Amino acid sequence: MNRLFVGIELPASCKEVLSGLDPHLPGLRWIPEEQLHLTLSFIGEVEGLAEGRLREALGEVRVPAFFLPLRGVGVYNSRERPSVVWVGVGKGHPNLFALHRRVQDAVLHAGLEADLKPFHPHVTIGRGRGISRQTLQPFLRRNAETEFGLAHVTGFQLYSSILAAGGAKHRVELRQQFE
């Protein structure tokens, strides 16, 4: 069994910029540079045969390559505390949403359950470990509208994720290039 998700790996230049944003605040874990990605679809535990079908279906997914703006920061909260610090991707990039739909179709065609919650594209850059909104506020205000550059999206990846005490470890299982 593999715990799988589909995501877009960011170009090295973007990862470097986002990694360098770390405000080094207590109660906030920054995501290691090599793990920065945009999740397209979280799939969960998948057994070998289904993973084979998924790989085949994902291998058929192609959309025109596109440029994705990385812009602004925000948080998702859990129990009144920031749990996820994210970087946004501007307003509803059509090619990104088309890619998301194609990936969801591939997951369904493989006989797996796609996460059907609304898609809110973001790149997780930090995880709250008890930090308060107030402590994070100056960082959020400073970067609310900052432009972090453009990611040239020419493909996506199937990742496996192993849960560990210091945070999940991701491994690229499949690279699908459409350009």
- Cα–Cα distance between 105 and 98 in angstroms, integer? 11
157 binds ligand 3AM (CB under 6 A): no
Pick the binder of ligand 3AM from 22, 33, 115, 173 (CB under 6 A): 115
> In whole angstroms, how close is the CB of 38 to ligand 3AM at the nearest point?
7
Q: Please give the structure tokens belonging to residue 168.
A: 């999940």
41 binds ligand 3AM (CB under 6 A): no
Q: Please give the structure tokens belonging to residue 58.
A: 């994902």
CA distances from 124 to 32, 33, 39, 76 (A): 11, 11, 9, 10
Cβ-based neighbour number of residue 173 at 10 Å: 16
Nearer to ligand 3AM, 40 or 61 (CB): 40
Nearer to ligand 3AM, 88 or 179 (CB): 88
- Cα–Cα distance between 149 and 67 in angstroms, integer? 10
Pick the binder of ligand 3AM from 39, 143, 160, 176 (CB under 6 A): 39
**CB within 8 Å of 49: residues ≥ 6 apart:** none
Pick the binder of ligand 3AM from 27, 42, 74, 174 (CB under 6 A): 42
Pick the binder of ligand 3AM from 14, 51, 124, 160 (CB under 6 A): 124
Which residues lie near ligand 3AM (CB under 6 A)? 5, 39, 42, 115, 124, 161, 168
